[in-house]
Amino acid sequence: MAIDIILYILVFALIITGIVGCFLPVLPGPPLALAGYLLLLFTPSEGGVTWWSITILTLMTAFTVIADIVVPALGVRVFGGTKWGNWGCIIGSIVGLFFAPWGIIIGPFAGAFLLEYATSRQLKPSLLSATGSFVGFVVGAGLKVVVTLMILLAAIVALFF
């Protein structure tokens, strides 16, 4: 019985940490929340966790992980950036991982700006391209929040309904 209570606490601690991780780039929000949801399989409430819910939530979580890099690059494109701005955004995203947490936000912006400016020598289009990467980052964060809240809702439904 005590182990069940510890598991339930751990489930919700992971999910809440996942929600926080949507706003702190150093924590992988949706994967942490999904790990909490999967822990429900080891509790007496495991009957509420279905393979369909596991599959759907895992696919959604994988999508957010991929979207973390792709969505800022799409933002560059939407704001009029060139392929160089896209490459700068992607390279900046990867380099930014090593300088977390701020590097994850600044990296795509700086990368898009620097490569765009290096190839065009025009300030305004380069700033627009970089702004698109930031807007893409915000959209990606919103997507992570939605998926993580869906995981929270699935856990509540599995436990209480």
Instruction: From first to last of the 161 residues of the chain, give the pLDDT tens digit.
Output: 788 889 999 999 999 999 998 877 778 899 999 999 999 998 886 668 889 999 999 999 999 988 887 888 888 888 988 889 888 888 888 898 788 778 878 888 899 899 999 998 899 989 998 999 889 888 988 999 999 999 999 999 998 88
pTM: 0.80
Residues 6+ apart with CB under 8 A from 31: 18, 61, 65
Q: Please state, in angstroms and rounded to a whole number, the distance separating the CA atoms of residues 58 and 46.
A: 17
Contact 133, 109 (CB under 8 A): yes
